[in-house]
Structure 1
Amino acid sequence: MKEIEEKAVHSFYNGMNCAQSVVTAYADYLKFDPDMALAVSNGFGGGMGKMQKTCGAVTGSFMVLGIYNSKKHPGNIDARNATNEMIQKFTANFTALYDSLDCKALLNCDFTTQEGEKEFLDLDLKKNICSKCITDSIKLIEVLTEE
């Protein structure tokens, strides 16, 4: 999974948002169209439409878990139930690490303002928070898919 982490972080630093970087990093591993994944996850960065709600690394992870279970379980209801269970476990584990799923709380700044944008850049939160949320999300996915 280290390769997936590296691919995701590389994508994040090269123009993809946090959700896109997580989802597309799994395209080869789970054998799905990376262009479609890029498009579907487009509006989830910056906490869903840059509203600083649920972290994009988290929503991207939820998408990956859905794809994983859709490939693993032949029926939609089975896939959905397995996905819901994994999302609940993921949420508990991510919250144990970061105390929140909320982008604004994770960053402790409002990057929708000029002051917040400056703080985001000055504190290098992209590196110090966002990239860690991405790699930790991938680690959590790995644990859940190995159970």
Structure 2
Amino acid sequence: MSRAELAKANFLKGYACAQAVLLAFSDVTGLDEGTAMKISLPFGGGMGRLRLTCGTVSGAVAVLGMVLAGPGVDPANKRLVYGAVQEFSRRFTAANGSVICGDLLKAAGLATDTNAVPEARSAEYYKKRPCPDLVYSAADILENCLKEAGLL
């Protein structure tokens, strides 16, 4: 199973979008499942259902930070990490139209409700939402970025 398939399967099991992506790369980040789930849960729904940065993007950015960021405040390392984040974001936007959760939902003809109550997960939920495909896309793009950098 590819990391993209694993991430999508995680989402379809009920994980938040950010969790689904981060967990698919747990072998690379070194995070145990419990820690990864706690760190990434708030980023689901575009940061707590505020529909801001897509949770799949936040999960991928967390992986990039865990893999690339060094200790301290080295400006060269910041440039490396920021450059990787920008390249991932460029590719995600090219593939999906935006990195903003609300924009992605609107493009799918869905409401962008921002209340804190997550929608119940059901077959209908998964059928109408772009999220499973966005989770797959984010993990696939991230895996390609890491491979190109020689990190996978």
Q: What range is the shorter-chain TM-score in?
A: 0.7 to 0.9
Amino acid at match of 2:35: M
Shift of 1:122: 6.8
> What is aligned with 2:60?
61
> Can you give the 5+ residue segments of structure 1 that lack an aligned partner in the other structure?
none
Deviations 1:13-58 (A, max 9, x none): 1121000000011112332222111101111111110111111001
Deviations 1:44-87 (A, max 9, x none): 111110111111001111001111113xx566524433211111
Is residue 112 of structure 1 aligned with residue 110 of structure 2? no
Deviations 1:96-128 (A, max 9, x none): 1122111111111224279xx7xxx478233xx
Amino acid at match of 2:131: C
> What is aligned with 1:125?
128
Q: TM-score by structure 2 length?
A: 0.78
Flag the 1:76–1:142 CA change in 2: closer, same or farther, 3 A. farther
Aligned counterpart for 1:88 among listed residues 68, 86, 93: 86
> Can you give the 5+ residue segments of structure 2 that lack an aligned partner in the other structure?
none
Aligned residue for 1:9, secondary structure, equals helix
Q: Which has the larger helix fraction?
A: 1
Moved more, 105-114 or 19-28: 105-114
Taking the aligned partners of 1:16 and 1:49, their CA distance within structure 2 comes to: 13
Aligned-residue Cα RMSD (Å) equals 2.5
Q: How do 1:44-59 and structure 2 match up within 5 A? A: 44-59=43-58
Flag the 1:123–1:133 CA change in 2: closer, same or farther, 3 A. closer
Q: Does the 8 A contact of 1:66 with 1:80 survive in 2?
A: no
> What is aligned with 2:24?
25
> What is aligned with 1:137?
138
> What is aligned with 1:43?
42
Q: TM-score by structure 1 length?
A: 0.81
Q: Percent identity?
A: 31
